[in-house]
Amino acid sequence: DQQVKQNSPSLSVQEGRISILNCDYTNSMFDYFLWYKKYPAEGPTFLISISSIKDKNEDGRFTVFLNKSAKHLSLHIVPSQPGDSAVYFCAGTGGFKTIFGAGTRLFVKA
């Protein structure tokens, strides 16, 4: 049972345009969500998070939106840069275990 689903294995975007990465979850106990970014041959690094009491959190070029009724969150990157090319993992937690999605590989073309 995949509690966190990232249905797009990959996404290709032109430099300067918006990248939108999507994530769906099924566990109603999740009250906190995180996005991690991973470059090849490195460990994942924290990118941005959002609490379930909010519907938006912004940090520079990165914004995460949460739609609790739809159990859906999305990560927007504006403008996209070639250095953003990486695998992005969505994760949900209810305070105990953190469950990660399968990841979406983003390609930003120069």
Partner 1 sequence: DAGITQSPRHKVTETGTPVTLRCHQTENHRYMYWYRQDPGHGLRLIHYSYGVKDTDKGEVSDGYSVSRSKTEDFLLTLESATSSQTSVYFCAISEGRGRDTQYFGPGTRLTVL
Residues near partner 1 (CB under 8 A) are 4, 6, 9, 32, 34, 36, 41-46, 49, 89, 91, 93-103
Angstrom distance (rounded) from CA 29 to CA 13: 33
Instruction: Report d(CA 94, CA 32) in Å as an integer.
Output: 7
Q: Which CB sits closer to partner 1, 97 or 110?
A: 97
H helix intervals, the chain? none
- Least gap, CB of 27 to partner 1 (angstroms): 13
- Cβ nearer to partner 1, comparing 43 with 60: 43
- Our CB check for partner 1 shows the closer of 85 and 93 to be 93
* The one-letter amino acid at 56: K
